Amino acid sequence: MSGQDAASSAAGRGPRPELFVGRAAASPQIAADWSRRRILLTDLRAVRGRAYPRINGLFREKSWVFFEILLPFLTTSAFVFVYRALQAPQEYIGFVVVGGAMTAFWLNVVWMMAAQLYWEKDQGNLELYFAAPMDLMSVLLGMALGGMVMSSSRAASVLVVASVVYGVTFEVDQWLLLIVVFGLTLSALYGLGMILASLFLMWGREAWHTTQLMVEPVYFVSGLNFPVARLGMLGALAVATIPLAVGLDAIRQLAFVGSDVALLPPLAEAGILVAMTAVFTLAARWSLRTLERRARIEGRLTMRWQ
């Protein structure tokens, strides 16, 4: 019998039940015995609750909007001018612009997924997450969904502005595949973000330095401004492990038909992204549980500024 059923039968026959955590039940144990439906609904509420500030706050903090669009745009512009100085074909300017738009997602994964639990620990919120009656995966999923919406608006702005300013024209034959690949890239990216978030649960100041390490080196091996195939074996390794690398390679092939410098066909890369999404999500769940237990044992969950 579920807790809710027990509570109602107790309410019908026995003495008047008391309120335990907002529920009428005969005892705290019965009140704490939740049905599957209730658990699922609570977790979904947690997902919505964690996604809410990111979606609702999309344009609330004006300085964030400005800087989140300006920073990738400035970086993109610098690389565009490098190609112009080299008198590169216009196609390469397009590569840089697409890469620049995708940096909005990668920066969001690094700063607002991977490092988020570390910031929460620093601000004293992490213990509240653990004390709340929900699965921590719901928090990560909420962060990911909110982050995707938030970054999409930034990426779209960078893409539109940079395309107009630098005269980029896209040639797309397979819109559906392009949309699917883009969606898969995001799911794989945020799956990786969930794994990283659990790793950051253990870390102190090294978290900050690790986020720095995950920007330029990842841009380089992912071929952010050039076709990743040019990196040879290193590029192949990146395509096999980093969603940004494989996603960018596929998106470029689909957005600029005729570019002949890809590592694999788009369909094969879509398959890699599906596999990455599944593996990263499962690994994130395992990693979160394992590292949470370890962090509890070592007392790292509430340790700040070390």
Partner 1 sequence: MSQTTPPAVPAGFGPLRIPGWAGFDPARPEGGGLRAHWRGFATAVRIGWATEANWTDPLLFFIYSVAKPVSAALILVVMLEVIGGASSREYRSFIVVGSALWAMVLSGVAGLAWSILEDRERYRMIKYVYVSPSIFLVVMTGRAVARVAVGAMGALITLAVGVVLLGVPFDPLRIDWLLLAIVTGLGLVAIVSIGVILGAIVMQTRQEAWSYPEAVAGALFLVSGAVFPLAVLPFAVQLVGLLTPLAWWIEGSRRALFPDGISSIGGPGSAWLELSGTVEPSNLVTVIALLVTGAAGTLAAGLAFRASERRAKDRGLLDQTTGS
Candidate segments 33-41, 79-87, 175-183, 193-201, binder of partner 1 by CB under 8 A: 79-87
Contact between 230 and partner 1 by CB under 8 A: the answer reads yes
CB nearer partner 1, residue 92 or residue 200 = 92
Q: Which of 226, 239, 249, 292 binds partner 1 (CB under 8 A)?
A: 226
Smallest distance from partner 1 to CB 103, Å:
12
Contact between 59 and partner 1 by CB under 8 A: the answer reads no
Smallest distance from partner 1 to CB 47, Å:
21
Contact between 71 and partner 1 by CB under 8 A: the answer reads yes
Q: Which of 52, 59, 81, 286 binds partner 1 (CB under 8 A)?
A: 81
Candidate segments 61-69, 142-150, 176-184, 291-299, binder of partner 1 by CB under 8 A: 61-69
Under DSSP, the state recorded for 132 is S
Query: Which residue in 272, 218, 252 sits closest to 110, CA to CA?
Result: 218
| CA dist., res. 276 & res. 243, Å (int) | 7
Residue 106 CB-density burial (10 A; 0-12 exposed, 13-18 middle, 19+ buried) = buried
Q: Which of 9, 217, 267, 275 binds partner 1 (CB under 8 A)?
A: 217
Q: Which of 179, 206, 265, 293 binds partner 1 (CB under 8 A)?
A: 206
Candidate segments 34-42, 74-82, 164-172, 181-189, binder of partner 1 by CB under 8 A: 74-82
Candidate segments 16-24, 38-46, 87-95, 288-296, binder of partner 1 by CB under 8 A: 87-95
Contact between 209 and partner 1 by CB under 8 A: the answer reads yes
- Name the site residues for partner 1 (rule: CB under 8 A): 61, 63-64, 67-68, 70-71, 74-75, 77-79, 81-88, 92, 122-123, 204-206, 209-210, 212-213, 215-217, 219-220, 224-227, 230-231, 305
